[in-house]
Structure 1
Amino acid sequence: MMGGRNNCTQVTEFSLAGFTEDPVTQVYLFLLFLLTYLVTIVGNLGIIILIRTSPNLHSPMYYFLSNLAFVDLCSSTIVTPKMLVDLMSEKKSIAYAGCVAQVFLFDIFGISDSFLLASMAYDCYVAICHPLLYPLVMSPKCCFQLVTASYLVGLTNGVGQTISMSTLSFCSSSTIDLFFCDISPLISLSTSDTTPSHIILTTAASLFGVSSILIILLSYVAIIPTILSINSAEGKRKAFSTCTSHLTTVSIFYGACFLMYLFPSSDSSRAADKWAVVLYTVVTPMLNPMIYSLRNKEVKEASRRLLKIK
């Protein structure tokens, strides 16, 4: 199979299938996704500015949250602007180099997102299960190291998936049945031996995806019994409120992930698959600032103070 790579002309651009050929529907989708993207920008930038300018939000949880907002903003920007352009264009295509860049950046921020959520779970665990040790354990140095590690793991994943793509040949088919470049449909589209790419993809999913999920699960396995053992109702309420926003974010993020990657595609389910991908790539980055703004009293109070100042 690999020998065929030299006997074909490698594609210089890919066509993107998009959502629909109906021009009226495309206009409605453009307006919907444009509004979603604008809310994503305002919400995530607002969270970052609020945390940076509010002294009462200078704590580990909000340090992680500001980085999560940055990652969500970046991951949405990698996908949504190109999608908006394609919705209003007759020709929906992306150059090979642009596709490589999209795979590289999307995989960096996707894994960074999951490890930031894992870091936030660990922060909740220390705060609830070991409150006396919290200032010592969650020091500024430790928080910086956890965030840096999240980005480095994401970078490792991005490099791995880019190397995976570089081993693939695309001789006959060049239409990606999606609205952006992702490694999974590219592997399916390839005309060369995809074994190395499958190995890299499976290894990355096992090492990075499973490990981040395990950190979150183990943290909450310790957190929940600790909360239930608290005698006072007020103490339980405060402990639960510490984790509620994070649990909501984790549920939406991994729920969208599972819909996108774990459920097998079929001809009859491709439209549903695309909307699962929209949930993961477009909607989830918009929701996180709302979840933390609506459910967190400290964020609400900081917002009111900031607005009064201005």
Structure 2
Amino acid sequence: MVLRRLKSTLVIAEHDNASLKSITLNAIGAANKIGHEVTCLVIGSNCSKAADQLTKVEGVKKVLVADNAAFEGFLPERLTPLILASHKQFNFTHIIAGASAFGKGLLPRVAAKLDVSPVSDVIGIKDEETFTRTIYAGNAVMTLKVTDAIKVLSVRGTSFEAAKVGGGSGALEKAADGEYKNDLSSFVKQELAKSDRPELTSAKTVISGGRGMKNGDNFKLLYELADLLGAGVGASRAAVDAGFVSNDLQVGQTGKIVAPELYIAVGISGAIQHLAGMKDSKTIVAINKDPEAPIFAVADLGLVADLFKAVPEMTEKVKAMKS
């Protein structure tokens, strides 16, 4: 009789120690499509709350926990050895994380150590070794078959349904030890911008401004409307490069990928790099004074108008509706 080892997928959880990031649930949703047993790895400092949340997620069989002060800041140089040690212990066939800044910084290191080719920004899973991803800034879709024994994937959160929280019964287990201490990097501090507005990647409504805003002060027009709608505020790369707003607001191929119920593009021409980050939005509204702007090609509703007149008018109408 020949015994076969159960195929298993490892999802690397992204969290802030206290709670899971939404993209983790999307990554678990992607892992469930592969059809293997799903194990999640939580690495952090005082991360027991995030680990407990994962045990309740549907489809998660086991939750490995590595809780140590050395993991503060989630440095990829320290997380990678833990992931490798966990793989050595359980022999995972797939290692998955979200295609966020966290995943993009971590998975290439893991793949290099495993001597395999990572597959980035996966948008579809056909079977356990066939995947789809966008290329040429989203203008084409590639289907590829991965023959490596271990598949290392980063998945686009907006392309996969989030796994449901509640009803799960994953078992907690201490992760394998690894030589995670190194002299390559050290965590000093982080400064987080605080805002009452929702995070871009999880907001149901997003209002983004482009070069047409002319300067950073004019973004106040968008902030006022966003606050009335409970929306997140984003920006095109052109607006970020011009110094209008900080780069954490950037939406696009080199920024954040969003797919809200409503996306309002204000003064954005519609470069393909920006479209790659928002074209999966359910409803797209574009406001631009140039009727030939490429953004209108993907917009469900388009308004050819001066944004400095149109946005204040919209704001007043929303105020009137709320009063």
TM-score (ref. length: structure 2):
0.22
Higher helix proportion, which one? 1
Higher strand proportion, which one? 2
Q: More relative contact order in 1 or in 2 (CA 8 Å, sep 6+)?
A: 1
TM-score (ref. length: structure 1):
0.23
